[in-house]
Chains A and B, each alone.
Chain A
Amino acid sequence: MYWKGSMGLNIVDFTLNGIPQQAVEGTRILDFLNDQGIEHPHICYSDVLGPIQSCDTCMCEVNGQIMRACSTVIQSGMDILTKSDLASGAQAEAMDRILENHLLYCTVCDNNNGNCRIHNTAEMLDVKHQTRPFRPKGYEKDMSNPFYRYDPDQCILCGRCVEACQDLQVNETLSINWESDMPRVLWDGGVSIDESSCVSCGHCVTVCPCNALMEKSMLGEAGFMTGMKEDLLSPMIDLVKEVEPDYKTIFAVSEVEAAMRETRTKKTKTVCTFCGVGCSFDVWTKGRQILKIEPSEDAPVNSISTCVKGKFGWDFVNSKERLTKPLIRKGDAFVEASWDEALDLVAEKLGGIRDTYGSDALGFIASSKMSNEENYLIQKLSRQVFGTNNVDNCSRYCQSPASWGLQQTGGIGGDTGTIQDIAGAGLVILIGCAPAEGHPVLATRIKRAHKLHGQKLITVDLRRHEMADRSDLFIRPKQGTDYVWLAAVTKYMIEQGWHDPLFISERVNYYNEFVEALEPFTLDMAEQTTGITKSTLIEIAKMIHEADGTAICWGMGVTQNIAGSHTSAAIGNLLLATGNMARRNAGGFPLRGHNNVQGASDMGTMPNIFPGYQPVTNDAVRARFEAAYGREIPSQPGLDNIEMLAAIEYGKLRGMYICGEDMAWVDANSNHTQEMLAKLDFLVVQEIFMTTTAQFADVILPGAPSLEKDGTFTNTERRVQRFYQALPTLGDAKPDWQILMAVAKKMGWDWGYTHPSEIFAEMASLTPWFAQCDYDVLEGWGSFHWGSTDGSNTPVLYADGFNFPDKKARFALHDYVPPVEFPQEFDLTLDNGRLLEQFHEGNLTSKSAGIQHKLPEVFVEISPELAKERGVESGSLVRLESPYGSVKVKALVTDRVDGKTVYLPMHSHSHENAVNLLTGNAVDVKTHTPAYKQTKVRLEVLRKDGKSPLPKNNHRNATRTPQMGVQVERKWIRDDYEPIAAVNVALGAGGIQ
């Protein structure tokens, strides 16, 4: 018997090719066949996109009629024949129509990798010859996009790309002009790909069943005979066509070639390192060359989804600028050295500082880009080898306040659910985050749910980004006042009786105190403080009340304030008051910005905790680690990033070891940071590029990016995933875990790991949350969510109670702290953050020519009103000045920002325009996260005229063409369409009937 998902439980009886069968009511014929492993032709259908009904190859005979297997739901008593004359004839007819649109030159085609759906279906259907000859459509190939091309002559018009673009990625660029004499896929209704609203996410290329849409990195590279020039390739294709022994022979030859490719093309599962979403996919390589990123429906977070960086942004791995040898500072230059020399020097100097000034004169910075295993070793190096708790990671710069807020309310500092819970929520509220820029694949799930499934969306942000445009309600509060509207909405909901009294009484402590603490936060007060009208506040409350599940996602707009921790707790409070925690399709989701910022903290690279957030001050816990590490560990928390820099100033901190973190640009107030780095007696930087931070080093140790090693990352959902080594290390560079081991060994601690799995096992043995996780659980596409004290897999937190001794959550009772005041001359609010194409300070993505083609430089976004007032135009050169420093940058006039708010993206590592030259020293009251968002600047126009910094071919300059899916029904009403199926009924978007 066959079950699919959570559909009805009624069973229907039917016959398949004469044999009685059973299926759960609501099952489609094709799903049944696929899940039973019964081979049946189909090209346009997939689990993810649903029935598109365009290829017509899946025809069956159902009760004597020709019907599509993909869209026909099995009914009781159905008689289904998949191989009758009627069915086979229909399938053959459909394939013949497809081959009119597609030339089978498989052997010299870069898509001949064994997974071409047209090749495989034609072969399955035993196609020997075609009755309709191939004819070109009469359009040029579109090669304009830097990452992929479209060849209309190979396009079978199945519409998968359109479905993916419109309804899965929801960028709404692609369509098919079904009414045209010769339909084709169009970008924004008919402009070149490069000039369109296309964001190069790669969905269309991934779902294309043939070679019509191909990654340019594959062209001429994937095959043995595909590298030939056009003037040889064309006659060769003609020759194949003329000789045309029959298709079976062509298939055989191409399969020999595909089998040869299989020995050369290496396919390795990896996890993306460009944000915290945790997309996984295969990377195809040929030697050191990356052929392409190949997403898979098996990937637990992203399935087939990617963004431009994950799909196309890996050029940095083979950049000529990679560090390939250890470097030692000698005079005014770095000199290449052997590993032995470099490690000896590191051991001598760090050991010397420890012996002279004590262990706490050293500080260690871990990396949110490195693996869990490597982060674990960094804290072990700090605590065991050097005897200090002075270890921290970059979550200090971004997400510590969010973790703190959630720890105060629910007890665990992590997303309370999964990406599926965000997609399934009745209402999503985005506060101070722009996932379409910073977490693109997560954004697709919200955009899809909003477009297809009636999900409501509220965006609260200073900047009108894409998600704001798509929202049901977009709110621009005054900077730094989110706490107030959150408290006011919570108070109002309690007054209206829209809270969840049962949930509160059974599962949450401090309710009365909380109600009292909310007293000042009336709607009037909130309106005055935040600028959000009372009616809007009531509207928010109403939407939360009416939604089945509210998921709140937040980002740096909340956390990078002087009380981002309190605001994060206020979010927790609102969720607790309305019963939106400890359930599916609801919860709190701080969107982690780096692939392993969650993991770095989980692994204990923080001054106050061991792995698994076990306090260093807890004697029992510390005793466990002391026993395991064979030495005494300080009982008091060490210094965090911010305190370390201060300690340098006072001469207390003398030596630092920084792993994979460009602290010089990432910490606030860069001038100050760099001054401090210059003051150190000895600095070790473990890096893959000569970053600005590395330029301050005494020794630089060349590490390896994720593609060159094994390990695990933990994404924003607390999901641990494995990545595998795809490439050999470059030059003398080493996997970072091996470097850390070598340093420890020079210091007399021989850890003796031979594989990261052993490091993970050691960590798990000391950390109850990971007790049931190991490398076998994580094999392949496997994954594991930590979050239960018994160490079991926990996708949704708190099902068995909150993480406090009495299993009850707590309303957090912390005050509102108004934003920092600046002198009046600093009259503009400096918003800052990411743009889709680039990543962080740009050390990685700026190595990609394609990305640079799309977004070559940073700029400051200025509102039309302000531009008019100050005489600024797009392309004007302006100086922004804060009390801490100044930058020189081109302006872009756009209504994404409003009034006196300006937006400066962070993707610069230039002394001219890096945003942190402007940010200041104010920090969060609880976690010391710099208040990057509480920065005010003044503006001076340096030169009025200039070229706009946003290229014409950037997607932000184009207009999308939204529609529901590919609209195959428009094909069916064409005069020249002869129906094959007896029934042609369009389904709702996403295949919903």
Chain B
Amino acid sequence: MAAPIQKVIRQEPVKNPLESGSPSASEELQLLVEELHQSGVLEAARSMLGAKDSIAKILVEQLLRKDVLTLINNLMAAGTVLTKLDPAQLERLTEGLSAGVTEAHQTIEANQSISIMGLLKTLQDPDVNRALQFAIGFLRGLGKTI
């Protein structure tokens, strides 16, 4: 004879060591891992690892696009140039460019038309003359390599 019953006596749950007291180093680590797990970071990392072949395939496909290839080639060529330049010279050049651009802006803002005579006169300006010498030298060097 068995009457219907619903009451269930459960076994005592095992206590979670993380819920009490100040954690030890290994428990700290466990907590950190738990946090990473809760935030989904570990899961994402694991999934990325799991999908590494698919992801690599997608990335390679992206890299093989024509515009991307051109970009890569340009970056690499530019990189080569950068390795051959003397940093000191480059620094002087970039400073020069900066100063040149500033001066150029002022000149444009003055908005004075230039006559042929005025142009010849300008060549005698020592600053302009030095820049021209640099430019002619650059053109000579460039001409030898192309």
Contacts and interface: CB of A to CB of B under 8 A. Distances in A.
B40 interface: yes
Interface string A242-258: 00000011001001100
A692 B5 CA distance: 9
A982 interface: no
Contacts of B91: none
A237 interface: no
B58 interface: yes
Assign chain B's interface to a size class.
20 to 34
Contact of B1 (A263, A327, A678, A697): A678
Nearest to A338: B11
Contacts of B9: 330, 333-336
Nearest to A224: B44
B50 interface: yes
A613 B61 CA distance: 60
B7 interface: yes
A683 B50 CA distance: 48
B51 to A, nearest CB: 4
Interface string A222-260: 001001000000000000000000001100100110011
Nearest to B65: A248
Contact of A333 (B1, B7, B50): B7
A261 to B, nearest CB: 7
Nearest to A333: B7
B51 A260 contact: yes
Contact of B47 (A224, A334, A690): A224
Interface in A303-358: 325, 327, 329-330, 332-336
A455 B11 CA distance: 61
Pick the most buried of A259, A325, A329, A695: most chain B CB atoms within 10 A of its CB.
Answer: A259
Interface in A658-685: 674, 677-680, 683
Contact of A259 (B40, B58, B62): B58
B47 A264 contact: yes
Contacts of A264: 43, 47, 50
Contact of A249 (B11, B51, B62): B62
Contacts of B61: 252
Interface string A941-966: 00000000000000000000000000
Interface residues of A, number: 34
B108 to A, nearest CB: 33
B51 A336 contact: no
Interface in B36-74: 40, 43-44, 46-48, 50-51, 54-55, 58-59, 61-62, 65
Nearest to B57: A259
Given A678-B3, A698-B2, A255 B58 contact: yes
A524 interface: no
B8 interface: yes
Given A336-B9, A692-B4, A696-B4, A252 B59 contact: yes
Contacts of B5: 329, 332-334, 695
Given A252-B61, A327-B8, A262 B51 contact: yes
A259 B54 CA distance: 6
Nearest to B49: A263
B8 A333 contact: yes
Contacts of B47: 224, 260-261, 263-264
A699 to B, nearest CB: 11
A353 B106 CA distance: 111
A678 B9 CA distance: 21
Interface in B1-26: 1-11
Nearest to A227: B40
Nearest to B11: A336
Interface string A690-730: 10100111100000000000000000000000000000000
A100 B7 CA distance: 60
- A-B CB proximity, top 3 nearest: A263-B50, A259-B54, A695-B4
Interface of B: 1-11, 40, 43-44, 46-48, 50-51, 54-55, 58-59, 61-62, 65
7 contacts: A252-B59, A252-B61, A260-B44, A264-B47, A332-B3, A690-B8, A692-B4
Given A261-B47, A696-B2, 10 more contacts: A224-B47, A248-B62, A248-B65, A256-B58, A260-B50, A262-B54, A336-B9, A336-B11, A695-B6, A696-B4
